[in-house]
């Protein structure tokens, strides 16, 4: 009895699926998925341009092309007329015929082909069904289209450049590296294309920076000395090669040249702390660059200068130590003349602590308290920092 109840419910569901299109006219919206794909492409272009993955003119050209396709797809969808439904007696005749014939045909077929007497088969004992017929997602459809296009047009550099970041997101790193190589060969090299190639090759090698990736990063820096991502990877390559001093030198110079609010600074500082904690603390204590205006002001100030720290790349370890002490001494001299700069005092105390010059740190505490005696808020912050740094005095 239970079996026949289940069959009746299944028949009712089948009838509903067949009858519903006859009852309610439905518009055909075949272009919806294309619109979603083109909108995703426009968002991807904007993200790539904001991250400097593509140049301004290239981004604008890609945006115009995708917008054109989006407009064409929208116009095509609006031009479609909804399919008219049948009305009157013909509709009810069709409904009656379907309602009568479907159960009769289903029962007849089941009586001939079915086996109601067989026991049920547990789900766990059945072979897993394949997923070859699963509907592909919009991103998979886009990849399939671009791949088909590139099979027919292997010299389309723009196509290779479009699909490369998609491969990276799908973790198809070997394909991403291939696409990056083809884009460079067809469109020419830029600093961003070289660093993207190095990143793809590194990802394909499970994070190991080999000769090809390192060469790409070096070429990226040669084309644009301000390519911070390439500089970071070169420091990582030096660390992987066992050249910790070279890695520290590269990352110290990168920190010195970076704007104070640069989003990559925390990662660089963490990497530097991993191989040279003292250098990382000294870099944290020194003021960072904040763009052209800050660089100009730093050039006139007696305190530490970004160019001084960058010059450490050409110095020995002893020379770098002397340079850092010189920077600290200049900061101390400036504070001796104008002691109202609380942040300057905090940097000076951290620097003395890192250098192990406890006597100078204690003397600086006395001088700082005297200079800030009339500013209670700054004194409270100073005392809290002294406690955190464990400096007596």
Cβ(312)–Cβ(354) under 8 Å? no
- What pLDDT is recorded for position 114? 60
pLDDT tier at 93, thresholds 50, 70, 90:
low
Query: Quick one: pLDDT at residue 143?
Result: 85
Specify whether the CB–CB gap between 53 and 62 falls below 8 A: no
Q: CA geometry: angle at 340 spanning 338 and 344, to 5°?
A: 85
Strand, helix or coil for residue 339 = coil
Q: Is the pLDDT of residue 389 over 90?
A: no
Q: How many CB atoms lie within 10 A of CB 337?
A: 7
If you average pLDDT over residues 354-379, what whole number do you get? 86
- Give the closest residue to 344 by CA, choosing from 312, 299, 385: 385
CB 209 within 8 A of CB 237: yes
- What pLDDT, on the 0 to 100 scale, is given for residue 126? 46
Query: Which pLDDT score is estimated for 15?
Result: 63
CATH architecture of structural domain 315-393? Alpha Horseshoe (1.25)
pLDDT at 308: 45
Higher pLDDT, 93 or 149: 149
Q: How far apart are CA 305 and CA 299, in angstroms?
A: 6
pLDDT tens digit string along 151-168?
999 999 999 998 999 999
Provide DSSP, 111-130.
HHH--TTSPP--GGGSPPPP
* CA dist., res. 3 & res. 110, Å (int): 12
* Residue 367 scores a pLDDT above 80: yes
The pLDDT tens digits of the residues spanning 54-67 come to 776 777 777 777 67
Q: Residue 286: is it exposed, middle or buried by C-beta count within 10 angstroms (0-12/13-18/19+)?
A: buried
pLDDT tens for each residue of 268-324: 888 888 887 776 666 665 544 444 333 333 333 333 444 444 444 445 556 556 666
Lowest-confidence segment of 150-154, 193-197, 300-304, 348-352 by average pLDDT: 300-304
- pTM comes to 0.42
Q: Is 273 helix (H, G, I), strand (E, B) or coil?
A: helix
**Which of 192 and 392 is assigned the larger pLDDT?**
192
Rounded-to-integer distance, Cα 379 and Cα 368, Å: 9
101 contact partners, CB below 8 Å, separation of at least 6? none
Average pLDDT over residues 129-137: 47
Tokens, residue 167? 């491969």
Q: What angle do CA 384, 386, 388 make, to 5 degrees?
A: 70
Which of 203, 214, 206 has the alpha carbon at shortest distance from 167? 203
Q: Give the pLDDT of residue 35.
A: 63
- pLDDT at position 22: 57
Highest mean pLDDT among 62-71, 82-91, 98-107, 310-319: 62-71
Is the pLDDT score of 233 beyond 90? yes
């Amino acid at each position: 009895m239970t079996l026949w109840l289940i069959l009746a419910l299944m028949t009712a569901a089948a009838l509903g699926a067949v009858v519903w299109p006859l009852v309610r006219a439905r518009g055909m919206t075949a272009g919806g998925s294309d619109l979603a794909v083109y909108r995703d492409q426009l968002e991807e272009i904007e993200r790539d341009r904001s991250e400097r993955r593509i140049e301004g003119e290239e981004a604008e050209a890609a945006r115009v092309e995708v917008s054109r396709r989006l407009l064409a797809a929208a116009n095509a969808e609006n031009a479609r007329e909804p399919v008219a439904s049948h009305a009157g007696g013909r509709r009810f005749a069709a409904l009656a015929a379907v309602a009568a014939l479907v159960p009769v045909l289903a029962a007849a077929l089941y009586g001939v082909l079915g086996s109601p007497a067989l026991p049920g088969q547990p789900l766990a004992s059945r072979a897993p069904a394949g997923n070859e017929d699963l509907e592909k997602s919009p991103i998979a459809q886009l990849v399939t289209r671009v791949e088909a296009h590139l099979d027919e047009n292997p010299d389309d550099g723009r196509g290779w450049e479009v699909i490369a970041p998609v491969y990276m997101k799908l973790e198809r790193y070997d394909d991403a590296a291939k696409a990056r190589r083809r884009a460079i060969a067809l469109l020419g090299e830029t600093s961003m294309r070289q660093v993207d190639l190095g990143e793809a090759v590194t990802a394909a090698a499970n994070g190991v920076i080999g000769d090809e990736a390192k060469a790409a990063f070096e070429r990226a820096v040669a084309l644009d000395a301000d390519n911070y991502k390439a500089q970071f990877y070169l420091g990582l390559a030096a660390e992987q090669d066992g050249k910790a001093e070279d890695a520290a030198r590269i990352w110290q110079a990168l920190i010195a040249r970076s704007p104070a609010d640069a989003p990559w600074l925390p990662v660089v500082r963490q990497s530097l702390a991993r191989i040279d904690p003292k250098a990382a603390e000294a870099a944290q204590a020194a003021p960072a660059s904040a763009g052209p205006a800050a660089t100009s002001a730093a050039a006139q100030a007696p305190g530490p200068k970004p160019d001084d720290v960058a010059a450490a790349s050409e110095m020995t370890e002893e020379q770098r130590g002397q340079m850092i002490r010189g920077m600290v001494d200049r900061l101390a001299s400036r504070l001796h003349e104008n002691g109202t700069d609380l942040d300057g005092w905090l940097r000076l105390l951290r620097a003395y602590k890192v250098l192990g010059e406890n006597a100078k740190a204690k003397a600086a505490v006395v001088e700082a308290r005297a200079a800030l005696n009339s500013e209670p808020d700054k004194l409270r912050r100073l005392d809290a920092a002294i406690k955190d740094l464990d400096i007596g005095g």
